[in-house]
Every structure is written in structure tokens, then in C-alpha cells.
Structure 1
């Protein structure tokens, strides 16, 4: 599969290619060009050439293209989901939902396109001013491998509906579905040069997107350390930066919670996508008065999960996406054992058998009696390991939940309005769920605080991230 540089030749000057393998079987799926700096510059050329006409198109017309693309994606959901499962590893049902989420996101931004208008501001002496919003210009987007399709939607939707053009870099291990979606957007009527997808290494393509002064904004989703590096690189040209970075989301289960719902929520929140999501439940705090009962049911639920190839029937957890991620989880669990940082109640190893020999599989793992200084609580663990910490009350739970450099998501499970309100007010995170976890509709702004990033994606508020405000005063 080739890079998608619409309106310009895709050069891939080195001639080198990345192999994309199925993480469940190791089979080669396809190859993509290992792009170079010149490919990014060609993409920027195409963006600049297209920008004038695209930005002059009405937001309503831009929205119509997004809506048509969304309908075409819905019509091809099955094929796109199969491709996503084959390159990313997640179960087919999760891949299908992610593809539908991409369509939902495009439809949302198509829906708000008609409301992107200039506002009048009353001034003294019966005069008026106006605040108009202008597209920034050429933007850049860098997305990871864990949920590539939905994150592509989060960046493409607002950037394009606001009138910008975009250079997008997908992850090297999961670029194929993104390339297909770019083609669908073109089929739906997106003009040449408006969206350009460049595949390649992050330290080449990603760095050039952050460095290139003709790219006026970059939106990045990924590791905190990488985000800090890109922010430093981007500062040389004073470009805007949106960073959606790592998380170590706490989930608090109070003694008045619906324990069955809280068990189901913890399992979905931790083990969806094999635990490879930034908003996954990564630290679980349970009131001591219900801890024994809760943990017993939690262990039983985790033990019932089926691990396997994402295309097989009834699979709950597919493989991890790549060897590096699997090796990291093995290292973390071995550290917990070696340093006696917790009791591994279930899992803690790769599953055995011929079906697992060629893939990056790991058994869902439950750890209790977790030490306060355990790696499970200090760092973001991007995989299927769930640590449980028993606490006395809500004050202790919130204090320990906030004891982290991260601040992306959090949840509190309770029937009490007072406790829910306390959690929403005091938990240090960009989003707090009550009696649920991980749901992120495109209607609401999403992002983190502290080392979880800056800026927001989604919601009406994201248009601020993709437009420049201009004040206009007229003397009649």
C-alpha cells in the first residue's frame, strides 16, 4: 500500500518499506513506504496548494463531504474492521465499533459545520465589532497504533471542517486502515491536497511535522516523553500544539456502588483493546468494607475472558500490538514478582498452546496487595494488568488517585450524589466518569492535565484549536 499524498507524487525517496504484520499470527499483511523528510515537504506543498480554495469553501460544504464520507465508511464497516483487526490485533467487535466511531465523529463535525459563523459584539456608542475565525493553514497530526481509526477521526474531522489542510502520520505498525479511510474521504469529494498521509518512522516523519515552519499546528497522541520532545521541537516555529498523552486512570469503587456494574466496568475499562488505551482503568481503588466480595467477583469475571485471535468467535482479548509492548508487560510483572510489590491473583504469564505461539498474547492479570511504590502505581502500564488497592474511605481514595503525574481520566462508582460530586470536583483529571469508564463521545471536549497533555479534542471547543480569532472593528 502506498502513501496518500493527494495531488503530488509520493516519492518515498529511500525506497525502503515497512512491513505490517498481524500481531496474532505474525503473518505479513502488507508493506508501506518508509517516508523521508522530502515526503513530508511534498505533502506540505500539496496542502499549501489546496489551502486557498479549500478554506474559501463554506463550512457547510465542507461538512457535506465529511457526512458523505461517514456514510461510505458505514457501508464498508465490515471490510475496514477486518483490516483493522488484522493490523492492530483487537477483537473484530471492538474494531467494528471503532470504525463506527470514526463515522460518528465525522457526522458530528459535519453537523456542527453550519454553526461555524462570525459573531457580532456590541460596543459603545451603538457600534458593533465582530470576531471572525479563520483556519490556521497547514496542520499536522500524529496518531498511535492503539486506536488509530478513532484518533484519525478526532483529528481529521475538526481540522478539515474548520478549513485547514492536513498532513497525517499514522503509526508504522497500524497504518493500513488509515490509508483506506483517506481514500474514502477522497471518494466522498475531498479535493486533492487537502488531506495527505505520510507513513514512516516517528523520529523522521513526526519530527519533521513538528519542525517544519510551514505547518502551523500539530496534534499528537502518544507517549508523554514523545509529546514533550515534539513540543520542544515545535517551539522553534511557535506553532500551536495539542498533546493527548499518557494516563494512569484511577477508578474508585465506593461501598454503596452497584458492585456487579463496577466489576463489569473495571473489566471493560481495563481489558478493552488488551489494556492498550490511554483512558484504561490502570489503578483500581476499592473501599475495604466491600473489597473481599468485590475482588472475588472481579477475579471470576477476569478468569472468564477468552484470549485469542481477534477474528475468532467469542474472543474478548486479542494480542498486544507489537513485541515491544509485550516485552514491557512481561518486564513489569516480573518486577512485581521480584520486588514483592503485589500478589498476582490471576494471570501473570503468556497463555500456552499452539494458537498463541506466533502472536503477542498475554493473559489478563489481576494484582492485589499492591505496594504504594509499585511500578504498577507509579507508571502508565499499557497492557492487560489491573492493580487493586484497598482504601478506608473516599478521602483516602481521592488522595491516592491524585498521587500521580498523570491526569487524563478518572471514575467514581457510587449511588450517592454527594460522593459523585466530590469525585467530580476533587479528582485531578481532564474527564471524570460517574458509574462508567472510557466512553468518549465526540460531543464533549477530551484531554488531560499535568503530564497527560494540553489542549482539547472534540466538542465545539476543539474548533478553537484549529482556528485563529480575528477581531474586526468597522467605522461606518
Structure 2
């Protein structure tokens, strides 16, 4: 359960939690190399995160390409149902996520809570309903010859997350890694039948790892 993962992270003293992992093919996979994640508020390393190499990336891309053949054939309604469940799980665990986001980015917990909960939920609700209502086009419909337009999944999408998302920074200098991962990268890609490989910033990657536990739970 996501709440258990969050509590273990919160309760573990600095650098005493087991190293975080990559999430590939619905499985948490250890990376050969590790690096420290630093809490900006204290300047101290608080957890070890993957320092992924070429082999890790190639494996993730291979699996995502394989998954596309089945995921792209699911209905928009089915994909929307799963993403809405993911949004519910995030909302249910908002308090703990806010604490982790505070440690990851150094922002106040109150501010982290508002960004972790409201924006991803709002974004998910927007993107999951859009593909359901997307219609094709047949024109002109009353002639022997006609033009048909349909919308199909594109394929594997990549998401490279900066420490602060450039678009978000224009609005507010408080971008959260979970917002960037879910709102701008994962949700739109998955809702429209694509697969995705996401790489969070090495400066703020812990909540993205936690998000993968929510994905697995959903």
C-alpha cells in the first residue's frame, strides 16, 4: 500500500532507508549505481536514489515499446478509469506526500500540500475526459468518395523532468516533481493510449518514485 511506503520514508532517519529503485515493467528494479538525494532545507543527504545507466534506459524503452501493442488497444474509458483511480490514491495520501515533497524540494509542507493535491488532480480530471470525447471525422458524408479522419495513439513518449518545469515556473515558482510527472507527462500520454518512459530530475526524484507505487496500486 502506498501509505505504508510513505510512512517508511518519513520515519526512516537520513540514509537509513533502503535505496530507491527504478520502476520498469510494473516492477521495482535496483540500479547498479546510486547517488545521494539532498534535502535542500538541511543540506544533508537523506536517501540514495538510482544513478541509472544506458542498460537501465534501454530496458525501460524496450518494455514500454512492447507494452504499447496492448495498451494502445484499450478503450479510452478503461484508461480514464485507471487514471482517475490513481488520482484518488494520491488524494487519499496527500498529507504524507506533502511531507516527502517538502524534504525533496525544501518547500514548506503547507505549500507542498496544495501543489501535490490540487494541481495533479485537476490535470488528471481534464486529460482523462478529453480522449473519451474525441471524435473522428467523415467528410463529406453524402458523396461516393469521402475523407475519414481518426485519432490513434502515437507510441512511446519520453518525459524528462527538470527541477522546475519551465512552463510552470512562469505561473508559480513552486513546481512539484509529482505535478510535472503526472500532470504534464504521464497522464496525457497514458490517457491517449501511449506508453511513457519518465526520468525525474536527480535533484527531486523521491516523490516520482513514490508516484510509481501509486501507479502499481491503481
Question: How would you bin the TM-score normalised by the shorter chain?
Answer: 0.7 to 0.9
Determine if contact 1:22/1:87 at 8 Å carries over to the other structure.
yes
Alignment correspondent of 2:128: 110
Alignment correspondent of 2:92: 75
- How far 1:130 moved relative to its partner? 1.4
Candidates 41, 46, 51, aligned match of 2:58: 41
Determine if contact 1:8/1:42 at 8 Å carries over to the other structure.
no
Alignment correspondent of 2:22: 3
Determine if contact 2:21/2:28 at 8 Å carries over to the other structure.
no
Q: Name the SS of the counterpart of 2:29 in structure 1.
A: coil
Determine if contact 1:59/1:116 at 8 Å carries over to the other structure.
no
Deviation by residue 1:142-164 (Cα, 9 ceiling, x = unmatched): 01123222111211111111111
Determine if contact 1:139/1:164 at 8 Å carries over to the other structure.
yes
Matching of residue 17 in structure 1 with residue 34 in structure 2: yes
Determine if contact 1:141/1:155 at 8 Å carries over to the other structure.
yes
Deviation by residue 1:370-415 (Cα, 9 ceiling, x = unmatched): xxxxxxxxxxxxxxxxxxxxxxxxxxxxxxxxxxxxxxxxxxxxxx
Structure 2: gaps of 5 or more residues: 1-19, 165-174
Alignment correspondent of 1:282: none
Q: 1:170 to 1:131 in 2, by over 3 A?
A: same
Deviation by residue 1:329-376 (Cα, 9 ceiling, x = unmatched): xxxxxxxxxxxxxxxxxxxxxxxxxxxxxxxxxxxxxxxxxxxxxxxx
Structure with the bigger RCO (C-alpha within 8 Å, sep 6+) is 2
- How far 1:11 moved relative to its partner? 5.6
Candidates 204, 208, 214, aligned match of 1:174: 204
Superposed, which structure 2 residues align to 1:177-192 within 5 Å?
Answer: 177-188=207-218
Q: 1:90 to 1:37 in 2, by over 3 A?
A: same
**Cα distance in 2, alignment partners of residues 4 and 26 from structure 1:** 27
Deviation by residue 1:51-104 (Cα, 9 ceiling, x = unmatched): 111000001110111100001100001111110110101121221111111122
- How far 1:128 moved relative to its partner? 3.1
Matching of residue 60 in structure 1 with residue 89 in structure 2: no
**Cα distance in 2, alignment partners of residues 16 and 134 from structure 1:** 38
Q: Name the SS of the counterpart of 1:135 in structure 2.
A: coil
Q: What is the RMSD computed on CA atoms of the aligned residues?
A: 1.7
Q: 1:125 to 1:118 in 2, by over 3 A?
A: closer
Deviation by residue 1:245-290 (Cα, 9 ceiling, x = unmatched): xxxxxxxxxxxxxxxxxxxxxxxxxxxxxxxxxxxxxxxxxxxxxx
Deviation by residue 1:208-261 (Cα, 9 ceiling, x = unmatched): xxxxxxxxxxxxxxxxxxxxxxxxxxxxxxxxxxxxxxxxxxxxxxxxxxxxxx
**Cα distance in 2, alignment partners of residues 181 and 19 from structure 1:** 19
TM-score, normalised to structure 1, is: 0.38
Q: Name the SS of the counterpart of 2:120 in structure 1.
A: helix
Candidates 27, 30, 50, aligned match of 2:44: 27
**Cα distance in 1, alignment partners of residues 195 and 137 from structure 2:** 24
Determine if contact 2:22/2:28 at 8 Å carries over to the other structure.
no
Determine if contact 2:21/2:30 at 8 Å carries over to the other structure.
no
**Cα distance in 2, alignment partners of residues 42 and 107 from structure 1:** 31
Determine if contact 1:11/1:39 at 8 Å carries over to the other structure.
no
TM-score, normalised to structure 2, is: 0.79
**Cα distance in 2, alignment partners of residues 136 and 107 from structure 1:** 21
Alignment correspondent of 2:106: 89
Determine if contact 1:8/1:43 at 8 Å carries over to the other structure.
no
**Cα distance in 2, alignment partners of residues 121 and 140 from structure 1:** 34
Determine if contact 1:5/1:43 at 8 Å carries over to the other structure.
yes
Alignment correspondent of 1:285: none
Aligned length: 186
Structure 1: gaps of 5 or more residues: 189-476
